[in-house]
Amino acid sequence: MANLRMTKHQTLANIAEICAQQGIKQVIISPGSRSAPLTTAFARHPRLNSRVVMDERAAGFIALGIAQQTQKPVALLCTSGTAALNYGPAVAEAFYQRIPLLIFSADRPSEWIDQQDGQTIRQSNLYAPHIRGSFQLPVEDPHPDAQWHAQRVISEATHCAQWPVPGPVHINVPLREPLYPSPGQRYRGQAQQIIRQSAPRATLPAADWKPLRAVWQSSAKTLIVAGMQPPQPALLKTLHRLLQDPSVTLIGDLIANVHQGAAFSAQQPALSLPNGSAVSGQIAHWEMILGTKSSTTKAALTPDLLISFGGPVVSKALKLFLRKYKAQEHWRIDLAGQPVDTYQSLTRVIPLEAAYFFKNMAQTDKPARAQRRSYQYLWLKMEKQAQRSLNTFLSAAPFGEFQATADILCALPEESHLQLANSMAVRYANILGLAGRQIRVNSNRGTSGIDGSLSASVGAALTTNSLTTLITGDLAFFYDRNGLWHNHVPPNLRIIILNNGGGGIFKLIDGPGNLPNAELEEYFFTPHPLTVQNTARDHNLSYFHAATRSELRRVLPDFFAPAAKAAILEIPTDSEVNAQVFQQFKVQN
Q: Average pLDDT for residues 320-343, to the nearest whole number? A: 96
- Strand, coil or helix: what is 405? helix
Whether 6 has a pLDDT exceeding 60, the answer reads no
Give the pLDDT band of residue 327 (cuts 50, 70, 90).
very high
Cβ 516 vs Cβ 490: under 8 Å: no
Last residue of a domain, one of 338, 353, 380: 380
Domain presence at residue 390: no
Domain presence at residue 194: no
pLDDT in the model for residue 191: 59
Whether 163 has a pLDDT exceeding 80, the answer reads yes
Cβ 322 vs Cβ 251: under 8 Å: no
Residue 341: is it exposed, middle or buried by C-beta count within 10 angstroms (0-12/13-18/19+)? middle
List the alpha helices (DSSP H) in 302-400: 316-324, 354-361, 375-396
- Strand, coil or helix: what is 341? coil
Whether 5 has a pLDDT exceeding 50, the answer reads no
Q: How far apart are CA 322 and CA 327, in angstroms?
A: 7
Q: Give the closest residue to 84 by CA, choosing from 41, 38, 47, 44.
A: 38
pLDDT in the model for residue 149: 85
List the single range of 145-154, 206-215, 365-374 with lowest mean pLDDT: 365-374
Q: Average pLDDT for residues 408-420, to the nearest whole number? A: 97
Indicate if 233 and 168 belong to the same structural domain.
no
For 481-539, the DSSP string reads GGGGSBS---TTEEEEEEE-SS-GGGGTSTTGGGS-HHHIIIIII------HHHHHHHT
- The mean pLDDT value of the chain amounts to 89
Q: How far apart are CA 549 and CA 568, in angstroms?
A: 17
Domain presence at residue 392: no
Residues whose CB falls within 8 Å of the CB of residue 422, separated by 6 or more in sequence, listed in order: 443, 444, 445, 448, 449, 450, 453, 476
Task: Tell me the sheet residues that pair with 77.
Answer: 29, 104
Last residue of a domain, one of 134, 150, 174: 174
Residues whose CB falls within 8 Å of the CB of residue 476, separated by 6 or more in sequence, listed in order: 421, 422, 423, 425, 450, 451, 453, 454
Q: Average pLDDT for residues 512-536, to the nearest whole number? A: 76
Domain presence at residue 162: yes
Indicate if 358 and 296 belong to the same structural domain.
yes
In Å, how far are 187, 529, 531 from 17, measured between CA atoms?
12, 48, 45
In Å, how far are 10, 98, 397, 455, 459 from 71, measured between CA atoms?
30, 9, 40, 17, 13
Q: What is the pLDDT of residues 212-233, one digit of tens each?
A: 999 999 999 999 999 999 999 9
Cβ 216 vs Cβ 333: under 8 Å: no
- Strand, coil or helix: what is 5? helix
Number of domains in the chain: 3
One-letter amino acid of 89: P
Domain presence at residue 200: no
Cβ 5 vs Cβ 181: under 8 Å: yes
Q: Give the closest residue to 32 by CA, choosing from 118, 154, 114.
A: 118
pLDDT in the model for residue 523: 65
Q: How far apart are CA 336 and CA 353, in angstroms?
A: 9
Q: How far apart are CA 246 and CA 163, in angstroms?
A: 37
Q: Give the closest residue to 416 by CA, choosing from 529, 295, 561.
A: 561
Looking at mean pLDDT, say which of 380-384, 431-435, 453-457 comes out highest: 453-457
Residues whose CB falls within 8 Å of the CB of residue 184, separated by 6 or more in sequence, listed in order: none
Q: Is the bond preceding 205 in cis, omega lying within 30 degrees of 0?
A: no
pLDDT in the model for residue 110: 86
pLDDT in the model for residue 272: 38
Indicate if 268 and 164 belong to the same structural domain.
no
Last residue of a domain, one of 349, 380, 411: 380
- Strand, coil or helix: what is 67? helix
Q: How far apart are CA 427 and CA 423, in angstroms?
A: 7
Task: Tell me the sheet residues that pair with 486.
Answer: 53
Q: What is the pLDDT of residues 189-220, one digit of tens each?
A: 665 678 888 877 788 999 999 999 999 999 99
pLDDT in the model for residue 278: 38
Whether 353 has a pLDDT exceeding 90, the answer reads yes
Domain presence at residue 198: no
Indicate if 286 and 356 belong to the same structural domain.
yes
Indicate if 285 and 350 belong to the same structural domain.
yes
Indicate if 28 and 165 belong to the same structural domain.
yes
Q: What is the pLDDT of residues 64-106, one digit of tens each?
A: 999 999 999 999 999 999 999 999 999 999 999 999 999 999 9
pLDDT in the model for residue 527: 78
Domain presence at residue 191: no
Indicate if 411 and 347 belong to the same structural domain.
no
Cβ 330 vs Cβ 346: under 8 Å: yes
Helix (H) or strand (E) holding 441: strand 440-443
Q: What is the pLDDT of residues 237-281, one digit of tens each?
A: 999 899 999 999 999 999 999 997 543 333 333 333 333 333 456
Cβ 275 vs Cβ 380: under 8 Å: no
Helix (H) or strand (E) holding 560: helix 549-560
One-letter amino acid of 415: E
- Strand, coil or helix: what is 161? coil
Indicate if 401 and 373 belong to the same structural domain.
no
Q: How far apart are CA 418 and CA 204, in angstroms?
A: 36
For 225-254, the DSSP string reads EE-S----HHHHHHHHHHTTSTTEEEEE-G
Indicate if 410 and 341 belong to the same structural domain.
no
Q: How far apart are CA 274 and CA 81, in angstroms?
A: 67
Task: Say what percent of the chain tops pLDDT 70.
Answer: 89
Domain presence at residue 576: yes
Give the CATH number for residue 12.
Answer: 3.40.50.970
pLDDT in the model for residue 201: 76
Give the CATH number for residue 346.
Answer: 3.40.50.1220
Indicate if 370 and 403 belong to the same structural domain.
no
First CA to last CA across the chain, in angstroms? 75
Backbone angles phi, psi at 442, to 5 degrees: -135, 155
Q: Average pLDDT for residues 127-150, to the nearest whole number? A: 87
Q: How far apart are CA 370 and CA 347, in angstroms?
A: 28
> What angle do the packed helices 401-411 and 375-396 form, to 10 degrees?
110
Strand 271-272 and strand 278-279: the pairing is antiparallel
**Residue 418 belongs to domain spanning:** 397-588
Q: Average pLDDT for residues 166-177, to the nearest whole number? A: 94
Q: How far apart are CA 343 and CA 290, in angstroms?
A: 15
Residue 192: is it exposed, middle or buried by C-beta count within 10 angstroms (0-12/13-18/19+)? middle
pLDDT in the model for residue 588: 74
Indicate if 253 and 135 belong to the same structural domain.
no
Give the pLDDT band of residue 419 (cuts 50, 70, 90).
very high
pLDDT in the model for residue 136: 94
pTM tops 0.75? yes
Indicate if 345 and 402 belong to the same structural domain.
no
The DSSP output letter for 276 is S
